[in-house]
């Protein structure tokens, strides 16, 4: 399950996050099943499989967000609400905040939700890149440093992963060979 959390939310923001939780709840399970299928297929063919899962999780999120939002490339819009879900490198983090300013100033957006994975989630989603991808902690640090520039209606939400997976899928997703071995694909 994808689980979103937010601090100091207004009632409207809490309602948005609750709605997004209900919409995205199955994204982690869906991503794990896609990844597991690729892993098993590659093993049967004698091929290696990549470790990171942000592509599979991004595809699962896209499929679920597309049910109720318009958007692409990790940005979705519904009326005066914009939602950003990303697994981008830290070097591009400031670009998200600048795009938020544009949405507010030029497009009349009233609420922007920026969703980044927690550090704990990144350890599983992309074990090799966990220190170079943007986490919710990184986004919160940048928002604090630029608090005079970031409007109050831009909120950072933490994306965590947990929940029910079959034993076979869980064993592979959380295996030492995937999470703790040196950089590179796995067999």
For residues 113 and 159, is the Cβ–Cβ distance under 8 A? Answer: no
Q: What tens digit of pLDDT does each residue of 67-98 get?
A: 999 998 899 999 999 999 999 999 989 999 99
- CATH code for position 35: 3.40.91
User: C-alpha 173: how far from its chain's center?
Assistant: 17
Token pair in block for residue 20: 């997004």
Distances in Å between the alpha carbon of 124 and those of 67, 95, 99, 120, 166?
Answer: 26, 25, 28, 7, 16
Q: Report if residue 187 sits inside a domain.
A: no
The total number of structural domains in the chain stands at 1
Q: Report if residue 185 sits inside a domain.
A: no
Q: How many other β-carbons are positioned within 10 Å of the β-carbon of residue 157? A: 23
Q: Which pLDDT score, from 0 to 100, does residue 164 have?
A: 85
Q: What tens digit of pLDDT does each residue of 120-175 get?
A: 999 999 999 999 999 999 999 999 998 888 888 999 999 999 888 999 999 999 99
Where in the sequence is the domain holding 138, given as residue range(s)? Answer: 2-179
3-class SS of residue 85? strand
Q: Report if residue 23 sits inside a domain.
A: yes
Q: Report if residue 186 sits inside a domain.
A: no
Q: Report if residue 16 sits inside a domain.
A: yes
Q: Report if residue 159 sits inside a domain.
A: yes
Q: Report if residue 148 sits inside a domain.
A: yes
Token pair in block for residue 174: 């959380």
């Amino acid at each position: 399950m994808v689980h979103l959390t937010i601090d100091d939310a207004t009632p409207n923001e809490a309602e948005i996050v609750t709605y997004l939780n209900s919409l995205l709840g199955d994204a982690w399970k869906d991503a794990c099943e896609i990844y597991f299928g690729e892993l098993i297929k590659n093993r049967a063919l004698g091929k290696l499989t990549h470790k990171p899962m942000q592509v599979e999780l991004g595809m699962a999120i896209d499929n679920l967000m597309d049910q109720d939002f318009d958007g692409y490339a990790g940005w979705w819009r519904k009326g005066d609400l914009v939602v950003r879900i990303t697994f981008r490198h830290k070097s591009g983090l400031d670009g998200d905040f600048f795009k938020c300013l544009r949405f507010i100033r030029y497009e009349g957006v009233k609420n922007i939700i920026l969703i980044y994975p927690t550090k704990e989630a990144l350890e599983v989603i992309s074990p090799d890149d966990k220190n170079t991808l943007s986490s919710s902690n990184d986004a919160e640090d940048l928002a604090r440093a630029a608090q005079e520039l970031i409007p109050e209606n831009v909120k950072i939400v933490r994306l965590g992963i947990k929940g029910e997976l079959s034993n076979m899928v869980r064993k592979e997703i959380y295996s030492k060979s995937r999470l703790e071995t040196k950089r590179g694909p796995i067999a």
